[in-house]
Homo-oligomer: A and B are copies of this chain.
């Protein structure tokens, strides 16, 4: 079974999720620059979610580029990940409209947590299929980031009820940690390509 169609379907779903979020950014009724002011929380939540979905797409891209085979379990683990990602527009819209109120901010973390767990399950299914000596297993290594992120989300969620901005900063912090994650798999893939020549 080829992995191409799974990649294409995931690309499609992530592309749509990332794009329909912008529908929340409704044109203001007024026509002056000041009328943009109330849109700041909506815009900020859009940027955060855009970066998160970009990160997921990037990591998904890297993981599958080091994957040779897919099976039925991987297809479902992938759909499971896409399910939680598909809820990001909903929670983004809620934190935007409620101006980062406690409950929406906590729920945002909950969706990030479940997406992170789903990604971890997907990665586990692929690793199980590829084997412990595989390119992907080498590339992922100890996977410190993958293990740390859910812990931070779990800490941020209750904090959101005390100070939402702390939770928001933690979500942004995790995004920052992941921002340069590609190099890990990329380096191994390049070393592998060099060795092949």
CB pair B31–A98 under 8 Å, yes or no, is yes
- Cβ-based interface call for A18 (8 A): yes
* A197 CB to nearest B CB, Å: 14
* A6 CB to nearest B CB, Å: 8
Closest chain B residue to A73, Cβ basis:
B182
* A72 CB to nearest B CB, Å: 3
Q: For the complex, give the distance between the alpha carbons of A94 and B22 in Å.
A: 13
- Cβ-based interface call for A150 (8 A): no
Do A72 and B183 form a contact, CB below 8 Å, given A27-B97, A93-B27, A94-B28?
Answer: yes
CB pair B16–A16 under 8 Å, yes or no, is yes
- Cβ-based interface call for A14 (8 A): yes
Q: Which one of A82-90, A123-131, A167-175 is at the interface?
A: A82-90
Query: How many of these chains are in the complex?
Result: 4
CB < 8 Å: which of B58, B104, B180, B189 contacts A31?
B104
CB pair A16–B25 under 8 Å, yes or no, is no
Residues of B with C-beta under 8 A to A2? 65
Closest chain B residue to A60, Cβ basis:
B5
CB pair B17–A86 under 8 Å, yes or no, is no
Residues of B with C-beta under 8 A to A96? 27
12 residue pairs A–B, Cβ–Cβ below 8 Å: A1-B62, A2-B65, A5-B61, A8-B8, A9-B61, A12-B15, A15-B16, A25-B87, A54-B76, A71-B182, A71-B186, A72-B186
Q: Which A residues are within 8 Å of any B CB, using their own CB? A: 1-2, 5-9, 11-20, 22-23, 25-28, 31-33, 35-36, 47, 50, 54, 57-58, 61-62, 64-65, 71-72, 75-76, 79, 82-83, 86-87, 89-90, 93-94, 96-98, 101-104, 106-107, 179-180, 182-183, 186, 189
